[in-house]
Structure 1
Amino acid sequence: MDAMTTATASLPAPALAPAPVWARRAAHAVALCAVPSGLWRIAMAAGVYVGYSDQVLRDVYGIPGWGIAYVVGLSVLSELAALFPLLLVGDRWRPLRPGILAPLAWTASAVLVLVALWQLVVVLTAESQTYLADGTARIVWGLAYAPLFAVPALMTAVTWSYAKRQRAGGRCDPPTD
């Protein structure tokens, strides 16, 4: 009986079916959605005029100063987080405990939905409207941040695909588009 227990304990977890093409594209889209806002923040940290006066940059954002590290760090962390969905569709990386990845992905999806809703509230408040200059700067800012509103839906779709493939228990059905 010990030989049977040892033999079954050392078997690797069954491989997941390949991710559908649409899920792989959605995961890559999440990573790309974070790029424009990250570049906008890095431009702000580098001193490029993005619609804020020098006084606002100095007093509100701490630029130049500690604010540069904060803004660049936020850009880097945002992009790293946006790469997470690629783990859900990739064939190369397999976690030691694959059962943990699905709940983590669902939690990330829920948090992203809440953050997107919160950002809508922030964008529509008078506080966020007062610092940024009107005109071209506001349009560029809107274009840079608009792709982030697609991230919750894309992340939820990728997570759903991963959870569905994980529940299938490694059946290798051909991916559907």
Structure 2
Amino acid sequence: MTTTATSPLPAAAPEPAPVWAHRAAHAIALCAVPSGLWRIAMASGVYVGYGDQVLREVYGIPGWGIAYVVGLAVLAELAALLPVLLVSDRWRPRRPGVLAPLAWTASGVLVLGALSQLVVLFTVDSHSYLASGTPQTVWGFAFAPLLAVPALMTAVTWSYAKRHRVRVRVRVRVR
């Protein structure tokens, strides 16, 4: 008995995503909302703890900084909506096996990004522009949910990869 070749099985409809994966994917989208609203408030001129001089000189607000800060908020929210595609029953990529490594890469980048942000938070003097007290507390509550995103994204990615494993059929030839 010899093994001759392997070929993928015909694409069967994958099983639906579990409820917890749906909730985790939607939670990722919700985690980006508070920081996005904080950024939009900052761009709109609402006092978020930065003085007028800091807004002008450091962040370019008013001016180009408004487009940058609002654009960052919009891009962050769009990126946070992408995991919803991994659990959607309506969207079927043509090659689901390609998406899993991409999602794992995104999970790894998010974990490294979150760790680097924690290092920056505790080592760099960048938060010294922000007024202490209530503004720092509001800032903390606005950005704290982003720390949950790497773990949630990893869970959603794991669920997606588990449901879309490429099944391989082995043809066996008997002599």
TM tier, smaller: 0.7 to 0.9
The one-letter amino acid paired with 1:50 is: V
Structure 1 equivalent of residue 125 of structure 2: 127
CA distance in 2, matches of 1:150, 1:168: 29
Tell me, which stretches of 5 or more residues in structure 1 are unaligned? 1-10, 170-177
Normalised by the size of structure 1, how large is the TM-score?
A: 0.87
Structure 2 equivalent of residue 81 of structure 1: 79
Quote the sequence identity (%). 79
Structure 2 equivalent of residue 53 of structure 1: 51
Larger mean Cα displacement after TM superposition, 92-101 or 24-33: 92-101
Structure 2 equivalent of residue 164 of structure 1: 162
Residue pair 2:32, 2:76 contacting (<8 A) in 1 also: yes
Larger mean Cα displacement after TM superposition, 91-100 or 34-43: 91-100
Structure 2 equivalent of residue 136 of structure 1: 134
CA distance in 2, matches of 1:20, 1:168: 19
**Runs of 4+ residues over 4 Å off in structure 1:** none
Matched, 1:94 2:96: no
| TM-fit CA distance, 1:96 | 1.6
Matched, 1:44 2:42: yes
| TM-fit CA distance, 1:130 | 1.1
CA distance in 2, matches of 1:75, 1:151: 15
Q: Say how many residue pairs are matched.
A: 159
| TM-fit CA distance, 1:13 | 2.5
Residue in structure 2 matching 1:147, options 145, 152, 157: 145
CA distance in 2, matches of 1:13, 1:167: 11
The one-letter amino acid paired with 1:76 is: V
CA distance in 2, matches of 1:129, 1:148: 17
| TM-fit CA distance, 1:25 | 0.3
The Cα offsets for residues 115-167 of structure 1, whole Å up to 9 and x where unpaired, read as 10011012112422311100000000000000000000000000000001112
Tell me, which stretches of 5 or more residues in structure 2 are unaligned? 1-8, 168-175
Structure 1 equivalent of residue 112 of structure 2: 114
The Cα offsets for residues 13-38 of structure 1, whole Å up to 9 and x where unpaired, read as 32110000101000000000000000
CA distance in 2, matches of 1:66, 1:55: 15
Structure 1 equivalent of residue 16 of structure 2: 18
The one-letter amino acid paired with 1:114 is: L
Secondary structure in 2 matching 1:119: helix
CA distance in 1, matches of 2:57, 2:123: 20
CA distance in 1, matches of 2:68, 2:117: 19
In angstroms, what is the RMSD of aligned CA positions? 1.4
CA distance in 2, matches of 1:91, 1:12: 19
CA distance in 1, matches of 2:127, 2:89: 44
The one-letter amino acid paired with 2:55 is: L
The Cα offsets for residues 89-122 of structure 1, whole Å up to 9 and x where unpaired, read as 0000011211111011001000000110011012
